[in-house]
Structure 1
Amino acid sequence: MLSINVAVLLAVIVVVRLRRRTEARSRFDDKLGVVIVLALGVLIAPTPLGQGILDALGELVGGFSRAGI
């Protein structure tokens, strides 16, 4: 039996969509892209990878706020 991780499948879809040409996209196409990326974020967030990304972004933002940027 073949098992496909939904997060990996969505990541592949995002990469394929980003490699396409950016000309002549419709509003529906843009909205669909946003929904796919949000779904990917929701699936990755509770994983150790998602927690690592959150910690790294927190450190980055904290560094900017301490620097007064």
Structure 2
Amino acid sequence: MELTINVAVLLAVLIILRLRRRTEARSRKDERLTVAIVLVFGILIAPTAFGQSVLDVIGQVTEGISDAGGR
């Protein structure tokens, strides 16, 4: 039996666990590590179909906001 772990899923779980902690308990070093983990997660998920759909949704939201602001 072979067990494989998707790195993106592992990072997602790690991000959720880190963000559940109270903000007051975090140091600057801890915050920087969380940002680095989120960036790596974003790079890993970007080329996937899920990442592309998230990008499309964010693009539509920002387009709607810019259209509403221009009126």
TM over 0.5, yes or no? yes
With normalisation by structure 1, the TM-score equals: 0.93
Give the structure 2 partner of residue 56 of structure 1.
57
- List structure 1 segments (4+ residues) > 4 angstroms apart after TM superposition: none
Query: What is the RMSD of the two structures over their aligned residues, measured on CA atoms?
Result: 1.1
Distance 1:11 1:59 in 2: 24
Identity %: 61
Give the structure 2 partner of residue 18 of structure 1.
19
Structure 1: segments with no counterpart, 5+ residues: none
Structure 2: segments with no counterpart, 5+ residues: none
With normalisation by structure 2, the TM-score equals: 0.90
TM superposition shift of 1:66:
1.3
SS of 1:42 mapped into structure 2: helix
TM superposition shift of 1:49:
0.5
SS of 1:23 mapped into structure 2: helix
Structure 1 residues 45-64: Cα deviation after superposition (integer angstroms, max 9, x where no partner): 00001000000011111111
Give the structure 2 partner of residue 9 of structure 1.
10
Number of corresponding residues:
69
AA partner of residue 18 (structure 2):
R
